[in-house]
A and B are shown apart, each in its own frame.
Chain A
């Protein structure tokens, strides 16, 4: 069993990534169709990502002038691997996780800190102006949400007395964290949107930058990059479901079904603003991140700390 465990784990994480990214792309296409006034066509929206992926897979790679080739090759798969690492620490049900390490939250934090590295590599590699601007715009964005993201997660870990995601879910068996820490989930969703640079916070890949870090990507490299972006969004939604919505806890249905349902619900909440809320200006987001997001997350973690102290004494 132990010999096969890594292979089974890799297959499990891979399946979660594929289905998760397909769900994100379907939701995105469906919501876009509704906002554009074309109506909700779920079947067409479910096929659209497959068609786009088939189209991208058939295009030949391009190269620019003196790109940083190792960086370009590494960036997309690195982002995908980071999303996979974050998912591997998540338990689908009690004891059912790829690697429910006692420091699962820190593993997630380290993986999400490396997202900044992957995006910067992707923007630096083509040796082109707009990708580079997208890259350091993301660094500014990342530094603004990072501390708030980790503080809010720490607040969710305090009632459990452990940094492991399984323990955090079990500590919510009486009351979900979204109720006893009301600031937690909204702040985490905002920081998570910034982390996966989706929708209103898609600043490194924005339209005004002609596609930003992906401006010079084509073919399979672009396919891997877009899949990786969606995968980071899936990982964010899954961790939020585990830390704030009680993970696998729920009355009638089995644990994994609840986990998937909660993740899907959060994905809908994360995907809809992409077509309704305009993209935030980078200056505005940076000042929002430091003057509003960070103090609120400090309030959240202090409140969680006070509650934890009172219940433990």
Chain B
């Protein structure tokens, strides 16, 4: 029994780094404590306060990506206040798919979720209810004996079976509305695997596991004639006379404990425990497996519920969304209409400005032009769309087609304070070398004013060498820069695989936030900003001169 709503043939794949942290452990903890995530986060926060000298010396590429693309904004809107949804959204978005057919599989399931949100919500509710079994059965003391383990597991499974039956009934009643391969498989599985006959079989076992007619076990001799290889055996049906007298006939020898022989009963319990141990383990593991099924069901649906929350908000604002068309990584494709920055729009009251990008067969996009002209926004929009596409989500655009990338990396100019310990250029180069250590062909690198911390000639030369190498390694690069030397250098090369975009400026100096295809210009518009901001301090002549 597998949920398989996020992948056709496997459980929710989450990249290992995002599975090993205490937060994730709390998310999938069997106890399904609703405050588990909150508690873990609070503890982490306390630890950090206790050790103010702890500095994240080398942030991971995920941390960098999160910062540069402002991913937390997206997750917050997906979560709508639910910690579990937040953490699931984060893991889903950062664990990119690279196979277009996997992406389409998710898009279809998501489409079903958008169309039948209430049913999906109902299934999610049943998953939560199933997870309650662990808490209701009480916690297991670490020194618990096999009979205690067995008893508790039978209790848990009894609760589980009730929820499973209702899940199957829901599948029977409403399951036909789903169109996606994922949901159709899920519904069919529930109907087939959890039919009444099977559930009755389970319930019969749960009854028998109380061993009302005693336990029959076999053993062999181990070291020093101590028993080993204990096995609990299914007992033969008792005859009517045996049932009548309550005494089972035996061909061997027997003895009875004195009812007050407490030590004897304890010792006998030990013999019994040896036999039951294996069965108790099997039943307890089965209960864990059912619990894991509910955990996975919750986890996978939580990702879609997050998507529903985000969708609802964007739709309410009138921002267009679409399911993108993913292409294979070798295709070198990037075409978008009305592409906008989802995280930016989540911050704003009004709608944002969309851009069209035609970068089919392009491996290098050089973005130049006026400051605050929408360069960074476009770059972030591109990154977000790419990431959301590869999570199987809709994207913030009217249409979007792109090849999947094998990894998404960002190299942004950092503010001063991060670079205390060493020179800015050192810091930039160190970050770049960390990225380079992770790059593989068909990755995508977004550079925002990289290597602007040194003089233009030096910065350009460094950047040129890096970019040239990456392109030869078939890595796609989108580079926002005001270094004319660098941008012009690329232009001179007249490579048909390079796209030049430029932030527009109206003649009156106002920005449209719209970019268009155009070669880099030798001057930037920094003076505009300068003039605007320093207007009160600059003499009129200076302003006139700068014209």
Chains A and B belong together in one complex: no
Question: Which residues in A have some Cβ–Cβ distance to B below 8 Å?
Answer: none
